[in-house]
């Protein structure tokens, strides 16, 4: 009875908190209203009257119908794939309004492909108003946001449109990028927004968890972003940003390995071998360059929304190495996507994305290339519920003949239902 009692309490509290969602200031909505929100805006008309707590969640379920093949000369066969349901994933969202312009966020993964036990993604305090009576600070905080804690690093704009484990309402597709620049780190961030101009500066510990050992020597990571984001008229919005991420020495940097949720494409081009499971091989279809010791990355993101049409692009280059390497390697990524939202309140949408990665990987003499095409269609049944279908086709080129990924490819259909509140 204890699990049932806890579930009943959660549903009751979550329902009450959901009704009070508007009481949390400077919050990116977890529902459909959060689409195309990047840094949380400074315009907020929600008054503060008392401490409020809001509990929400994200639940996502996929059905996978993919096939894979390769032309490897190696002796290891591919994992046997069949159509079926993937693991249901879930997030727990807790937001608290502590004072005027000061809020707290905590997100936990209740179920994830890689960490199937409950796992805290991160938590932070965000300050959008002066905590003391000061005319100078009041003026500063009209344009400045301060974030402190353990949180999703603000490198590039692609992470604002990706699926985060159980929460997928922001993503018009089912899979994320091949090269997934997403992680959480401990640190502080300052955002400046005025008249469409945007600047971000942050310093973090450079790793996904806290660590006080200096063996090996650890250095902080630095993030910078400059951009312009303006609603020019009722029909047209434009945004352009450039970002940099730099860490000169970490024991285990996770800029491209920080997704503890795992890939949406289960067991594609994975080996059929003892110990190989959806948990141990959780990032199927991704390219993970292994820049655990040093990494410097740059990303440029243009975004245009004209009426129901969205165009979003990513150009990314990175250089880095693992702790056992002496020479840095390069990786580059390009992604272009078009999404058209239509019908009443833009409840229906279709999308097309092309994503390509070129990488120098350990143990492979030449650069390899991976290409992916995704075509999607979706329906927001309500502002909190979306149904999606996606066709995906991914190909691997220039891998050595004996490599499992030699002339590898996977393709097929994915279906997803997701709730977010």
**CA-CA distance, 279 to 113, in Å (whole number)?**
6
pLDDT for 163 equals 98
Share of the chain above pLDDT 90, in %: 86
**CA-CA distance, 183 to 292, in Å (whole number)?**
12
pLDDT for 9 equals 40
pLDDT for 21 equals 52
Radius of gyration of the chain (CA): 22
What tens digit of pLDDT does each residue of 187-196 get?
Answer: 999 999 999 9
**CA-CA distance, 189 to 155, in Å (whole number)?**
11
Q: How many CA atoms lie within 13 A of 383 on its CB side?
A: 10
- Positive or negative, the CA dihedral 255, 260, 263, 268 is positive
**What are the DSSP calls for 371-408, one per residue?**
EEEEEEEEEEEETTEEEEEEEEEEEEES--TTSTTTT-
Helix, strand, coil % in the chain, rounded to nearest 5: 10, 45, 45
CA dist 64 to 102, 176, 269, Å?
Answer: 42, 15, 14
Q: What is the mean pLDDT of residues 250-269?
A: 95
- Whether residue 7 is predicted with pLDDT greater than 50 in this model: the reply is no
What tens digit of pLDDT does each residue of 137-150 get?
Answer: 999 999 999 999 99
What tens digit of pLDDT does each residue of 119-134 get?
Answer: 899 999 999 999 888 9
Q: Is 94 exposed, middle or buried (0-12, 13-18, 19+ CB in 10 A)?
A: middle
For the ranges 5-14, 98-107, 175-184, 281-290, which has the lowest average pLDDT?
Answer: 5-14
pLDDT for 15 equals 45
pLDDT for 105 equals 97
- Tell me how many degrees the CA angle 183-97-171 measures, rounded to the nearest 5: 40
**CA-CA distance, 303 to 333, in Å (whole number)?**
17
Cβ–Cβ < 8 Å for 372, 394? yes
What tens digit of pLDDT does each residue of 217-232 get?
Answer: 899 999 999 999 999 9
Residue 241 pairs in a beta bridge with 227, 301
In sequence order, which residues have a C-beta less than 8 Å from that of residue 108 and are 6 or more positions away? 91, 92, 118, 119, 120, 121
**Three-state secondary-structure class, residue 109:** strand
pLDDT for 46 equals 85
For the ranges 39-43, 243-247, 266-270, 338-342, which has the lowest average pLDDT?
Answer: 39-43
Q: What is the mean pLDDT of residues 307-335?
A: 97
Closest among 165, 120, 111, 167 to 420, alpha carbons compared: 167
Cβ–Cβ < 8 Å for 357, 179? yes
pLDDT band at 214 (very low <50, low <70, confident <90, very high): confident
pTM of the model: 0.92
**CA-CA distance, 225 to 233, in Å (whole number)?**
25
pLDDT band at 212 (very low <50, low <70, confident <90, very high): confident
Q: Which letter does DSSP use for residue 164 in this model?
A: B
pLDDT band at 47 (very low <50, low <70, confident <90, very high): confident
Q: How many CA atoms lie within 13 A of 301 on its CB side?
A: 26
- The two most distant CA atoms of the chain are separated, in Å, by 71
Phi, psi of 270, deg, nearest 5: -105, 155
Q: What is the mean pLDDT of residues 178-192?
A: 97
CATH of domain 2-420: 2.40.160.10
pLDDT for 94 equals 97
**CA-CA distance, 375 to 380, in Å (whole number)?**
17
**What are the DSSP calls for 69-98, one per residue?**
E----SSPPBP----EEPPPEEEEEEEEEE
- Whether residue 5 is predicted with pLDDT greater than 50 in this model: the reply is no
In sequence order, which residues have a C-beta less than 8 Å from that of residue 251 and are 6 or more positions away? 207, 211, 213, 216, 218, 292, 293, 323
**CA-CA distance, 330 to 287, in Å (whole number)?**
12
**CA-CA distance, 306 to 415, in Å (whole number)?**
28
Q: What is the mean pLDDT of residues 400-409?
A: 96
**CA-CA distance, 342 to 388, in Å (whole number)?**
15
pLDDT for 117 equals 82
């Amino acid at each position: 009875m204890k699990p049932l009692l806890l579930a009943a309490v959660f549903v009751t509290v979550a329902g009450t908190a959901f009704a009070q969602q508007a009481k949390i200031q400077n919050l990116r909505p977890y529902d459909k209203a959060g689409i195309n929100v990047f840094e949380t805006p400074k315009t907020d008309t929600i008054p503060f009257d008392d401490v409020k707590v809001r509990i929400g969640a994200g639940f996502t379920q996929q059905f996978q119908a993919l096939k894979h093949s390769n032309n490897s000369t190696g002796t290891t066969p591919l994992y046997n794939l069949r159509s079926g349901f993937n693991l249901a994933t879930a997030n727990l969202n807790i937001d608290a309004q502590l004072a005027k312009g000061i809020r707290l966020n905590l997100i936990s993964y209740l179920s994830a492909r890689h960490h199937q036990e409950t796992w805290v993604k991160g938590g932070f305090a965000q300050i959008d108003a002066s905590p003391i009576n000061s005319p100078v600070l009041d003026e500063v905080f009209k344009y400045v946001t301060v974030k402190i804690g353990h949180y999703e690093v603000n490198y590039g704009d692609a992470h604002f449109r990706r699926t985060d484990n159980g929460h997928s309402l922001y993503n018009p597709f089912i899979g994320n990028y091949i090269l997934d620049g997403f992680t959480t780190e401990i640190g502080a961030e300052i955002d400046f927004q005025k008249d469409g101009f945007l600047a971000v500066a942050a310093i973090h510990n450079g790793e996904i968890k806290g660590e006080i050992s200096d063996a090996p020597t650890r250095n902080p990571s630095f993030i910078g972003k400059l951009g312009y984001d303006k609603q020019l008229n009722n029909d047209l919005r434009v945004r352009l940003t450039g970002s940099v991420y730099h860490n000169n020495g970490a024991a285990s940097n996770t800029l491209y390995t920080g997704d503890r949720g795992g890939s949406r494409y289960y067991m594609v081009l994975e080996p059929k071998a003892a110990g190989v499971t959806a948990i141990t091989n959780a990032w199927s279809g991704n390219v993970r360059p292994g820049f655990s010791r040093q990494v410097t990355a740059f990303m440029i993101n243009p975004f245009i929304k004209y009426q129901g049409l969205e165009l979003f692009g990513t150009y990314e280059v990175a250089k880095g190495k693992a702790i056992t390497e002496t020479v840095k390697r390069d990786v580059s990524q390009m992604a272009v996507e078009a999404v058209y939202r239509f019908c009443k309140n833009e409840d229906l949408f279709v999308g097309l994305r092309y994503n390509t990665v070129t990488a120098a990987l350990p143990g492979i003499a030449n650069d390899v290339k991976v290409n992916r095409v995704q075509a999607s269609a979706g329906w927001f049944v309500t502002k909190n519920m979306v149904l999606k279908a996606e066709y995906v086709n991914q190909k691997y080129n220039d891998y050595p003949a004996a490599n499992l990924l030699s002339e590898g490819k996977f393709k097929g259909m994915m279906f997803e239902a997701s709730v977010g509140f």
